[in-house]
Amino acid sequence: MSCQSDFGVTAMTMTKEDFIDEFQQMNDRIETAIAARNFDLVVNIDESRRELLHQFTAEIEPDNDQIFFEALESCAKDNARAISKLKMEMVTLSSNVSSQTKALNGYQP
């Protein structure tokens, strides 16, 4: 069984370096989609990324490779940062909308 990704690499033929490269590219695409507020795309890319990880680890044992795990951790941290930034922006936006709504309510008879 193999996992064909959007980047044309199949999990069965993938080396750890190929996997990390593709995983990081998918991570970058997730960050771009988050910044663009394209949440459907975020979900789709994340599902593909999870499937790629599942297929890769089912075929190849990471054998406690520190570089491999550090690369995965770096991707996870990058996504967490992007999500935290988005959440902060949402809180700010919500606060601004609330303030504007209160101000507009003051103009109603």
- The pLDDT tens digits for 43-83 are 899 889 888 888 887 877 767 778 878 888 888 888 788 77
**CA pair distance 67, 20, nearest whole angstrom:** 10
Q: What is the pLDDT of residue 109?
A: 63
Q: Is the pLDDT of residue 25 over 90?
A: yes
Residues of the chain above pLDDT 70, percent: 86
Q: What is the pLDDT of residue 12?
A: 54
In the structure encoding, which two tokens stand for residue 14, read together? Answer: 């993938």
1: DSSP letter: -
Domains of the chain, residue spans: 11-105
**CA pair distance 68, 75, nearest whole angstrom:** 11
The pLDDT confidence band at residue 42, using thresholds 50, 70 and 90, is confident
pTM: 0.62
Question: Using an 8 Å Cβ cutoff, are 13 and 52 in contact?
Answer: no
Task: Give mean pLDDT, residues 88-101.
Answer: 80
Q: Is the pLDDT of residue 6 over 70?
A: no
